[in-house]
Amino acid sequence: MAPQRAADAPQTIAHLLSAKEIVIACGPGGVGKTTTAAAVGAMAAAEHGGRVLVLTVDPARRLADALGLKGIGNQEVRISDEVFRRAGVAPRGELWAAMLDSKQSWDDLVRLHAPDDATREKILANPLYQNISGRFVQSHDYIAMERLYEIHSEGTYDLIVVDTPPTRNALDFLDAPQRLADFFSSRLLRWLIAPYRSRLVNAATKPFYTVADRILGTQFLADISEFFILFQSMYEGFVKRSEAVTRLLSDRRTTFMVVSTLEATPLREAEFFSAELIARRLHLGAIVLNKVLPDYLRDSATARLAQHMADRFDTLGEGLTDDPVLAARVLTEVAESFLHFGIVARREAEEQNELVGAPDILVTVPFFDADIYDMEGLIRLGQQVWD
């Protein structure tokens, strides 16, 4: 028996989105997460109206491809109504898109929190800062959520659809604000930068610095210390901010949409992710399963028929074509191809049946015979997901 649902629990993505301000699309890589996020955003703009923003935080520039936009960046860009019209849709609202520029966002954050101009310039010039903000992947996770918070608090958009980065661990971005807060309030941090602040090293801590010097080199240790001393001046702002970001993720206005395919590996990850969302009391609004093969491939009577065709290929096509030899070969290929795809379709249907902890809204999207690279495709996908 299906679990008891609240009478007004949303049954479709359309319904779900009408009650939310933030939708976070998450899940394993390679399942069409970015495209699904863009499609859902496009549908919301077209059907619900208002201002809708699709924020992609994937370092690979896929959303721009799908929206036919070259070079969208940190600044939000409006997708023109003309793009919708060419896809045969008259949008009721506006669709905007932005791509997370990690480095730019970090710089903005420093500008926001730095107590004075001198500190700001020093931080921006610190080699360690430049590496953290520009080169290393983990900083994407935090800044993505930070940027979401920033945009949401400006109140410009009725709905923000976020496409999360393909993290090593799908949960990294959820933990990032808390990790950052922990990091800045760590005792070890104070310990590490103490000698540079006081120029005083006592007998108890001296061995530590000697070893740290040997491993890291004096200049690097000095850079680290400078970085943290400077960042300490922004400590309170940062911690408050990351707490606010964490709150926003668990807010009633925020929901999560897990995207996957029915292939075993991504589906396992999506399952794990769904369970984690529930464990953290975050709102798992929907699961979207992409690239689902058509039902007829699983039909057992048709499979028997295909087997029969494969066995009788030599006589089956007699008189139907101008080349009996080729007809026999074609029929064999056709029958075997059906049986091949049937194996995949049945395996995937089983996977879907075994999906545990699924939310009320579980949407399957059929395998499209062409790739999605424009608004028309996004709308076509969006309509499958929508209601």
CB of 148 to other proteins, least distance (A): 19
What strands, in cross-sheet order, belong to the sheet with 77-79? 77-79, 94-99, 51-56, 159-163, 22-26, 254-261, 284-292, 361-366
Q: Are 295 and 367 in contact (CB under 8 A)?
A: no
**Rule CB under 8 A: is residue 137 a binding residue for other proteins?**
yes
CB of 165 to other proteins, least distance (A): 7
> Quick one: which segment of 130-138, 154-162, 194-202, 243-251 binds other proteins (CB under 8 A)?
130-138
In angstroms, rounded to a whole number, what is the distance separating the alpha carbons of residues 376 and 214? 60
Angle (nearest 5°) at CA 336 between 334 and 341: 95
Site for other proteins in 25-64 (CB under 8 A): 28-32, 34-35, 58-62
> Quick one: which segment of 47-55, 211-219, 238-246, 276-284 binds other proteins (CB under 8 A)?
211-219
> Quick one: which segment of 102-110, 164-172, 239-247, 250-258 binds other proteins (CB under 8 A)?
164-172
- Interface residue with other proteins among 46, 109, 148, 331 (CB under 8 A) is 331
**Rule CB under 8 A: is residue 334 a binding residue for other proteins?**
yes
Which residue, 3 or 319, has its beta carbon nearer to other proteins? 319
- Interface residue with other proteins among 156, 333, 357, 362 (CB under 8 A) is 333
Site for other proteins in 214-233 (CB under 8 A): 214-220, 223-224, 227-228
**Rule CB under 8 A: is residue 326 a binding residue for other proteins?**
yes
In angstroms, rounded to a whole number, what is the distance separating the alpha carbons of residues 153 and 102? 19
> In whole angstroms, how far apart are CA 53 and each of 77, 88, 385?
9, 21, 18
In angstroms, rounded to a whole number, what is the distance separating the alpha carbons of residues 48 and 257? 18
**Rule CB under 8 A: is residue 188 a binding residue for other proteins?**
yes
Which residue, 158 or 226, has its beta carbon nearer to other proteins? 226
| Alpha-carbon torsion angle 185, 188, 190, 192, nearest 10 | -140
**Rule CB under 8 A: is residue 132 a binding residue for other proteins?**
yes
Looking from the CA of 305 toward its CB, the CA atoms found within 13 Å total: 9
* Residue 242 structure tokens: 């990351």
Site for other proteins in 341-380 (CB under 8 A): 341-344, 347, 367, 369-373
- Interface residue with other proteins among 9, 264, 275, 362 (CB under 8 A) is 264
3-state helix, strand and coil shares in percent for the chain, rounded to the nearest 5: 60, 10, 30
- Interface residue with other proteins among 69, 171, 229, 316 (CB under 8 A) is 316
- Interface residue with other proteins among 121, 213, 236, 387 (CB under 8 A) is 213
Q: Are 53 and 41 in contact (CB under 8 A)?
A: yes
**Rule CB under 8 A: is residue 181 a binding residue for other proteins?**
no
Which residue, 317 or 382, has its beta carbon nearer to other proteins? 317
Identify the residue whose tokens are 């993720």. Answer: 249
In angstroms, rounded to a whole number, what is the distance separating the alpha carbons of residues 129 and 124? 7
